[in-house]
Amino acid sequence: MLSGQRFFARNGFDLITKGQKYNCRPCLSGGVKRLGIPKIAFSDGPRGVVMGNSTCFPVSMARGAAFDDELEYEIGSAIADEVAAQGGNYFAGICINLLRNPRWGRAQETYGEDP
C-alpha cells in the first residue's frame, strides 16, 4: 500500500463529517444515459434499508419463524417504499439460501430450512 493510501486509511475517516459516516444514499453504478438506461442505485441490508432514517426489522430467520406470509409481505412492501424514498432502485437484502453449515457468517440472513 502506498504511504498516502495508508495515511488516508488511518486518518481519512476523521476527515468525513458525522453525517457522511453513515450510509445515507444508495451505491450508484452503471447506467447509460444516451440509451436511457438508469444507474443501479443499490441498497443492501437484511434487516431493512441501510440508508438514511429507515426502519430496522428483525432478521429474516426470526421473521421466518413466525410463519406469517402476510406480515412478511407487509415488511417487503415497507422495505420497497423506503428504498424508493431513499433514491434506490435495487435492494438485495433478502437471502433465500438454505443453511448448510452453521459456521456460515450470514446464516441469520436466511429464512431457515423449515417450509
Does residue 4 form part of some domain? Answer: no
Question: pTM of the prediction?
Answer: 0.69
pLDDT band at 74 (very low <50, low <70, confident <90, very high): very high
pLDDT band at 13 (very low <50, low <70, confident <90, very high): low
Give residue 42's domain range: 23-109
Closest CA to 43 of 57, 63, 28, 62: 28
| Number of domains forming the structure of the chain | 1
Does residue 9 form part of some domain? Answer: no
Residue 95, classed as helix, strand or coil, is coil
Does residue 71 form part of some domain? Answer: yes
How far from each other are the two terminal CA atoms of the chain, in whole angstroms?
Answer: 48
Residue 59: strand pairing partners: none
Q: Are 102 and 55 in contact (CB under 8 A)?
A: no
Does residue 83 form part of some domain? Answer: yes
Does residue 10 form part of some domain? Answer: no
Per the listing, cell 419463524 goes with 65
pLDDT at 4: 47
Does residue 88 form part of some domain? Answer: yes
Does residue 13 form part of some domain? Answer: no
Does residue 7 form part of some domain? Answer: no
